[in-house]
Amino acid sequence: MMRQRWFQSLLGRVISRGWIMALAFLVVVAGCHSGGRTKSESRADRAAKARNEGRKVAIRKVACLYDQRPWLNCDVHGDRDPEGLWYRVFLDPGTGKGVLAKGTFHVEMYRIDHEVGEMKRTLISDWHYPSEQISTIQKPGLLGEGYVLQLIWADKATAGKEVEIMTRFEDALGNVSRSGTKRLRVPKYDS
């Protein structure tokens, strides 16, 4: 009887020490982790973490990428003249990679007329879209996440003209960032 109690007591100590050893082993293997920022955490990691935590990320730069032929043919008549254009937009919070952000895109398109000795800019279209209503890039690449703007203009006489496009992004706090302007010559085809 005495041997049995001694054995149970010994077994209890071994098991309790085993648990302690197992916990100590896990702490050593897993390491300690603080909730603070480490030096190795990059600016891109911080921006992604802020976006995931629902905090507002300030957009510092709006970058627009246009294809060689960004034209949309959207009319029902079937002529070859374009009725709009599309391009990609990347919102950069200062990390060099685009992010998705809540806000509004404001796009202005001006027709450029060259008259004798001077240039005249006339606003012919403007668009205002919340970022939630715009298609996002399906497979983000080196430039990060972004948007695809598809804009249709109202004036059919835009074909054959030179246009200038300016894209701005206004975040939920009212901060505005803008892209550089882009000049394009809209093609005009003989039908």
Percent of the chain with pLDDT over 70: 70
State the pLDDT confidence band at 140, using cuts at 50, 70 and 90: confident
Q: How many residues does the chain have?
A: 191
pLDDT in tens, 51-99: 544 456 789 999 999 999 999 988 776 778 888 999 999 999 999 999 9
- Considering the chain, what is the average pLDDT of its residues? 80
In this predicted structure, what is the pLDDT of residue 191?
58
Indicate the SS3 state at residue 117.
Answer: coil
Handedness of CA 96, 101, 103, 108 (dihedral sign): positive
Chain position carrying tokens 């896990």: 26
Structural domain boundaries of the chain?
Answer: 1-34, 47-185
In this predicted structure, what is the pLDDT of residue 34?
42
104 vs 134: CA distance, rounded Å: 10
The structure's pTM equals 0.69
- 12 φ/ψ angles, rounded to the nearest 5 degrees: -60, -45
Check residue 145 and report its DSSP letter. Answer: S
Task: Give Cβ neighbours of residue 1 (< 8 Å, ≥ 6 apart).
Answer: none
Residue 148 in this model has a pLDDT that exceeds 80:
yes
Strand segments (E) across 28-146: 61-65, 71-72, 84-92, 103-115, 118-130, 135-136
The pair of structure tokens assigned to 103 is: 């806000």
The answer as to CATH 2.60.40.2550 being correct for domain 47-185 is yes
In this predicted structure, what is the pLDDT of residue 21?
54
102 vs 20: CA distance, rounded Å: 49
In this predicted structure, what is the pLDDT of residue 27?
44
The pair of structure tokens assigned to 55 is: 């905090």
Chain position carrying tokens 């919340």: 130
pLDDT in tens, 9-55: 655 665 655 545 544 444 444 444 444 444 455 655 555 555 544 45
The pair of structure tokens assigned to 177 is: 């960032």
Q: Which of 62, 166, 75 is nearest to 123 (CA)?
A: 166
In this predicted structure, what is the pLDDT of residue 8?
64
